[in-house]
Amino acid sequence: MTIKNRLRILVVEDEEAIRTGLEDLLVFHGYAVEGCADGRRGLDLAMSGTFDLVLLDIMLPGLDGYAICERIRAQDREQPIVMLTARSADDDIVKGLSLGADDYVSKPFSVAELMLRVEAVLRRSRAGTEIANRIRLGADVDIDVRNLSGTRGDEALEFTRREMEVLQYLHAHGDRAVSREELLNKVWGYSRTADIETRTVDIHIARLRRKIEADSGSPVYLLTVRGAGYRLVGGD
């Protein structure tokens, strides 16, 4: 099978049966794949910058998936990362996304769900879109879109690529509330008909609020519209 534009995926998973199954599945779907069972080796490979996506388990020998994700994000805020989590471990999901993972897949997972999420993250990471250079919120928040950075008053801000894509989309549609379903479709690349359950939107919204809102406890810019979704207000 022809490799899809030579896209390369790194699989960091210590359980041999799962790792081999993932490698075989991804190769079958046309990707170039490298597998790794050790956390430290996985970090070295991920930091090489030669992979289009990192599929990362949490429980690993040597260095766990959280530490790997955090180290990757410290160097590269745009590297696509999908984490493998235990289905019942909500804390794993929240922590992984909070450290900058683009999405997660819960174990045990179906082949269809895994490929849906992997392909959606890859599709969004490679999409070329026209973007505004800056987003300004009120008098104190100034966001440099292209450099994934900004300021709130005297405080420096840094954003992941996915966080910035959420901000961009909400900013472009600031005249209305945007639903979770629409964000999953337009930002994460999921089909509107996809039958998935994910908390990734809510967690990304919570991370953005911690960065752009003052510490008053009541959002001023990134609002929840009950029954409708989220709206970004006060932007230029």
The predicted model gives 175-181 an average pLDDT of 90
pLDDT at residue 128 is higher than 80: no
Are the C-beta atoms of residues 14 and 42 closer than 8 Å to each other?
Answer: no
Reported confidence tier of residue 34, pLDDT bands at 50, 70, 90: very high
Residue 129 has pLDDT above 50, yes or no: no
Q: Kindly tell me if the per-residue pLDDT of 199 is higher than 90.
A: no
Q: Is the pLDDT of residue 24 over 90?
A: yes
Of 215 and 147, the one with more pLDDT: 147
Angstrom distances, CA of residue 46 to CA of 63, 69, 81, 109, 236: 13, 9, 10, 23, 37
Phi, psi of 182 (to 5 degrees): -70, -40
d(CA 85, CA 114) in angstroms, rounded, equals 12
Average pLDDT, the chain: 86
Of all residues in the chain, the percent with pLDDT exceeding 90 is 52
Burial class (CB in 10 A: 0-12, 13-18, 19+), 69: buried
pTM above 0.85, yes or no: no
For the chain, domains (ranges, CATH) are 8-125 (3.40.50.2300), 134-232 (1.10.10.10)
SS3 84: strand
Instruction: Name the one residue in this structure whose structure tokens are 């804390």.
Output: 91
* Number of neighbours of residue 61 by Cβ within 10 angstroms: 11
- HSE-up of residue 28 (Cα within 13 Å, Cβ side): 8
pLDDT for 1 beyond 70 = no
What is the pLDDT, as a whole number, of residue 197? 67
Task: Return the pLDDT at 2.
Answer: 43
Chain centroid to CA 197: how far? 15
pLDDT digits (tens, 9 = 90+) for 88-126: 677 888 888 888 899 888 888 888 889 988 988 888 776
- Single out the residue of 69, 88, 66, 86 nearest to residue 77, CA to CA: 69
pLDDT given at position 216: 63
pLDDT of residue 150: 94
pLDDT at position 175 over 90: no
pLDDT in tens, 49-67: 889 999 999 999 999 999 9
